[in-house]
Amino acid sequence: MAPPASLVRTARGLWHCQWRQLMGGLGPADAKGRYRRPAGAFTALPPLPPAAAETGAHVLIVGRSCPWAHRAWLVHSLRQLGGAIELLVVEPDPSAGRWRFPTPFEGCETLAELYRISGGKAGSRATVPALWSRRDRRILVNESARLIELLNRWPSPGGLDLEPEAERTAISGWRERLQGDVNDGVYRCGFARNQSAYDEAEAALFAALDALEVHLGQRRHQGASWLCGSDPSLADVVLFPTLIRLEMVYAPLFGCSRRPLWQLPELWRWRARFHGLEGVANTCFPEAWRADYFGSLFPLHPSGIVPAGPDLATLVNSIPPP
């Protein structure tokens, strides 16, 4: 027997009020209901540390599910920085809404404690990625856009430059658009407070994906495989974490489902090429992505049930499905 209509209306109203309160804790929004990512604690781009070449002097702290940490992890891997910068993977603690160290690090159980001893303001979000200096005993930078620039300047045994001078303007232009419309764009869809805020973010997201599709097609006809230049760049690095999560997380959970990626074949092939680069596959953890998003974002998915999703191998096949 269906519940009375009046009870349904009351329950919907109460849940909507509670949902808005919960969303306020999950991510801030402006007066029009558009999600606005809060600023980090250590956002300035620091100079290259004097001890950059010293083995073990720095630690890159990342989480498997975080796309912002993923981009830093990718630069760390592509530039073969493992011998210079230790990689430390923190684990989510959904019940407390924080990151925990698998074993105590610098006397800290949680990332929030490490932020406090680094001078982070009380109440500031303790997020990944973060670059820790053992010599200075503090976090040098946690803003991923600045951190990948710093890691690209780090002494590298392979010498790969992800932001060469000749392509710097083009790389910067793509990075700026991707940051707003794609990387943040999926969150603006998922964390929108109303229909108009969602519609605006969703339209910008797919307009950017369409532009990427056209651009990559033009590049392919010119004999080039990447967004800028003849080699992967920071522009490619920031695009990959979002696209590799699209079907697994952002389409079903954030409503980024207007068009599956296989209908954008240039982007599909680009994703497969990037995933095939040495070391990239080792930064991908689809089970963690789905468990952390569906299991942790209670206001968006109250049941906590982690639904089945596509196998990663099917998404990185170089041939789009028919």
Q: What does the domain layout of the chain look like in residue ranges?
A: 58-153, 165-315
Active site residue 66: yes
Q: Which of 35, 115, 187, 293 is catalytic?
A: 187
- The fold for domain 165-315 equals Glutathione S-transferase Yfyf (Class Pi); Chain A, domain 2 (1.20.1050)
Q: Tell if the pTM clears 0.85, that is, is over it.
A: yes
- Spatial distance between the Cα atoms of 233 and 82, rounded to a whole number of angstroms: 19
Nearest Cα to Cα of residue 118 among 107, 212, 240, 206: 107
Q: Which of 66, 228, 256, 284 is catalytic?
A: 66
Which CATH architecture fits 58-153? 3-Layer(aba) Sandwich (3.40)
- Spatial distance between the Cα atoms of 289 and 242, rounded to a whole number of angstroms: 11
pLDDT, residue 207, reads 98
Structure-derived torsion over alpha carbons of residues 292, 297, 302, 304, reported in degrees to the nearest 10: 0
- Spatial distance between the Cα atoms of 308 and 51, rounded to a whole number of angstroms: 45
pLDDT (tens place) for every residue of the chain, 322 residues total: 666 777 557 656 655 565 565 566 677 899 999 999 887 788 889 999 999 989 999 999 999 999 999 999 999 999 999 999 999 999 999 877 889 999 999 999 999 999 999 988 766 789 999 999 999 999 999 999 999 999 999 999 888 999 999 999 999 999 999 999 999 999 999 999 999 999 999 999 999 999 999 999 999 999 999 999 999 999 999 999 999 999 999 999 999 999 999 999 999 999 999 999 999 999 999 999 999 999 989 889 889 999 999 999 999 988 887 7
Active site residue 187: yes
